[in-house]
Amino acid sequence: MNSPLELHDPAEVGMSADHLNFAGELMDRQFAEGRSPMLAAVVARHGKIVFTKVLGDQRPGGPPLALDSVFPMASNTKPMTAATLLALVERGQVGLNEPVVHHLPELAVNDNEYVLVHHLLTHTTGWDPAALTAGLEAAVAAGRSEPPPGLDELEHLLLRSIWAVPRSRHHGTMMAYANPHYTLIGEIIRRVTGDTLDAAMRRYLLDPLGMDDTAVILPDDLLGRLIERPDGIPYAPGHPETVLPMYDQRWRECDDGGMGVHSTVLDYLVFLEMIRNGGVHEGTRVLSPATIRVMTTDQIPGLPAEIEGFVLKAASWGYGFSVGGADPVMRFRGGTTSRGALRHSGLGGIGSWVDRDLGISAVYHEVLTVEDDDHPRSWAYDRFEDVVTGAVTD
């Protein structure tokens, strides 16, 4: 990909500048109507950036939002965690089809011996997300527990909430999306490498990609650029259903594989472009062709899914990415992207996609103001996807 600050004429890559203006107008409406106080987006085609836009302030009363402002990536962490694990698979340190209990003996209860690493990556373990949530609530109610050396307090709590939760289904029979699957993947990475997930991700992904503005455990030099949500909206102080605001120090220090990454729209675009380019960044191979193949193809063909209350006839999920199927999902995907487009989204208004057929990589972040039952009512991600796709002229 070219320099992330170099903006190209869309006509160079077969896109209409006039049509891309609609994307900017959509963001303007979201901001003007009070649906989001902060928006940031970047779009590239064939490795050339053709659209960038930011609106709002980095924090209430703070400096303007910028392309290098740092967002908690929430569940957009998962593709990067999957890529880090697969770097270990490439090196023979983890097997995709080996039992999870081989690495995490604490799970050797409740008939878990046949749950494989593959099942964690594809959310097909058989755990019920509601039971996992109940386990977390029970762990919180049990009070504080001293984490072992090298593990932060919040990650210790998240892991402690999982160990004894029984599964409600046979493994491999249905996809049920749940953050704890990737919390466990992060723990496997820590135990295999003997280091933090943050350090492993930096070694295998962030440093090779030059992603200096991305981290799991947020360092002090990025703290001044971290966004801070206004009080009273989801995942901010003062919101009735928010237990731990995303700006909280415990989140900033949490080494979690499901929700822990912090990044900018430009940095995350670099990761997506590496995926689109088949594992290569600026002429250097970062991930093997085999890794890219399993990340970007459906690994659970024929399985149905339950995702945030939606029931899909076909899950269509790779390792870390949704691999765009035919089932519509309210506001989580556009309707005009290529079949098989890669996506992931995250709590609070985080979204990104790669349309390999059209050569598009894009990141679109909003700070949501309206959400219920994990449905992002104020989000315009699906519309943004369709506007960008509609700007392709050849």
Which two tokens mark 392?
């392709």
Please tell me the predicted confidence (pLDDT) of residue 2: 42
> Looking at the DSSP assignment, which residues form a beta bridge with residue 184?
none
- N-terminal to C-terminal alpha carbon distance within the chain: 20
Q: Is the pTM of this model over 0.85?
A: yes
> 161-179 burial string, b = 16+ CB within 10 Å, else e?
bbbebebeeebbebbbbbb
Nearest to 135 by CA among 170, 171, 174, 184: 184
Q: Which domains does the chain have, with CATH numbers?
A: 10-390 (3.40.710.10)
pLDDT tens for the chain, 394 residues: list them: 444 479 999 999 999 999 999 999 999 999 999 999 999 999 999 999 999 999 999 999 999 999 999 999 999 999 999 999 999 999 999 999 999 999 999 999 888 999 999 999 999 999 999 899 889 888 877 877 889 888 999 999 999 999 999 999 999 999 999 999 999 999 999 999 999 999 999 999 999 999 999 999 999 999 999 999 999 999 999 999 888 888 899 999 999 999 999 999 999 999 999 999 999 999 999 999 999 999 999 999 999 998 877 788 999 999 999 998 767 777 778 889 999 999 999 989 999 999 999 999 999 999 999 987 767 888 999 999 999 999 999 9
